């Protein structure tokens, strides 16, 4: 099923709760929350207390993308903050099996993400364990970058391998998604689309979300 997950990284942080409500009203399926620690990536965004502060404002599932070192140490915090899906990077220093198990033990969905330089095969062992694979379509760390078309082969490879195994897994793409690149990513096999600038900077966010959804369904 196609899902649109606006990334609040492109929102007005001074009104984060209002921005979350706006996305809910505009038809978002999930809300994407980019956590950056200034170590795993060279930017710092926000952490669990900020996420907890807006949890009560919307019913939207919280899609938390951890771009942090040692994600395993912080799973409890993000669970308490109200995450519904927690995605961590396979390139981080926490064991992927252990981290997925920890997330699941708290009744939360687990996603595993790969950066542009990491091969698709790195996530093959987790297709039956994780709930979602996030293929980064930019280098993680900043919003507003250009979509890397060369990552599409990895999306196709992962979808092909999941189909071969008979596994219906969510494949998410994140970075540079707009009304055009969403078509390319959907054709490659992605079904969950993160969009920061394309939604928050649009004149009409509801139209932007509707167009992304329509184009992904093409």
> In the complex, which residues of this chain contact Zn ion (CB under 5 A)?
34, 65, 174
Helix H or strand E segment including 97: helix 96-105
Of 103, 132, 127, 144, give the one whose Cα is nearest residue 9. Answer: 144
State in angstroms the smallest separation of the CB of 216 from Zn ion: 17
Q: Tell whether residue 176 is a contact of ligand DX5 (CB under 6 A).
A: yes
What residues between 16 and 35 interact with ligand DX5 by CB under 6 A?
32, 34
Whether 92 and 122 have beta carbons less than 8 Å apart is answered as no
Of 63, 16, 69, give the one whose Cα is nearest residue 42. Answer: 69
**Sequence-ordered strand ranges (E) for 68-122:** 85-89, 109-114
Characterize 5-26 residue by residue with b for buried, 16 or more Cβ atoms within 10 angstroms of its Cβ, and e for exposed: bbbbbbbeeeebeebbebbbeb
User: Between 50 and 161, whose beta carbon lies closer to ligand DX5?
Assistant: 50
Rounded to whole angstroms, how far apart are CA atoms 105 and 61? 18
Task: Identify whether 174 is a catalytic site residue.
Answer: yes
Contacted by 177, from ligand DX5, Zn ion, none: CB < 5 to 8 Å by type: ligand DX5
Whether 132 and 172 have beta carbons less than 8 Å apart is answered as yes
Helix H or strand E segment including 147: none
Catalytic residue among 34, 37, 63, 131: 34
Instruction: Give the CB-nearest residue to Zn ion.
Output: 65
Q: Tell whether residue 47 is a contact of ligand DX5 (CB under 6 A).
A: no
Q: Tell whether residue 112 is a contact of ligand DX5 (CB under 6 A).
A: no
Rounded to whole angstroms, how far apart are CA atoms 11 and 68? 21
Q: Tell whether residue 172 is a contact of ligand DX5 (CB under 6 A).
A: no
User: Between 156 and 197, whose beta carbon lies closer to ligand DX5?
Assistant: 197
Contacted by 145, from ligand DX5, Zn ion, none: CB < 5 to 8 Å by type: ligand DX5
Instruction: Give the CB-nearest residue to ligand DX5.
Output: 196
Task: Identify whether 34 is a catalytic site residue.
Answer: yes
State in angstroms the smallest separation of the CB of 165 from Zn ion: 26
Q: Which residues are catalytic?
A: 34, 174
| Residues making contact with ligand DX5 (CB under 6 A) | 7, 9-10, 32, 34, 65, 138, 140-145, 174-177, 194-198
């Amino acid at each position: 099923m196609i899902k649109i997950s606006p990334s609040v990284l492109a929102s007005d942080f001074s009104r984060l709760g209002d921005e979350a409500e706006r996305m809910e009203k505009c038809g978002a399926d999930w809300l994407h929350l980019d956590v950056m620690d200034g170590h795993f990536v060279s930017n710092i965004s926000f952490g669990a207390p900020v996420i907890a502060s807006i949890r009560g404002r919307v019913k939207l599932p919280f899609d938390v993308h951890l771009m942090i070192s040692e994600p395993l140490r912080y799973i409890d915090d993000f669970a308490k903050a109200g995450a519904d899906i927690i995605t961590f990077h396979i390139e981080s220093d926490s064991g992927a099996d252990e981290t997925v198990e920890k997330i699941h033990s708290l009744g939360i969905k687990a996603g595993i993400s790969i950066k542009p330089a990491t091969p698709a095969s790195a996530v093959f062992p987790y297709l039956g364990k994780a709930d979602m694979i996030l293929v980064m379509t930019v280098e993680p760390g900043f919003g507003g970058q250009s979509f890397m078309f060369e990552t599409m082969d990895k999306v196709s490879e992962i979808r092909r391998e999941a189909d071969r195994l008979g596994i219906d897994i969510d494949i998410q793409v994140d970075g540079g998604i707009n009304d055009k690149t969403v078509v390319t990513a959907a054709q490659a096999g992605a079904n969950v689309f993160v969009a920061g600038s394309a939604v928050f900077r649009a004149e009409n966010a509801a139209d932007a979300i509707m167009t992304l959804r329509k184009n992904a369904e093409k």
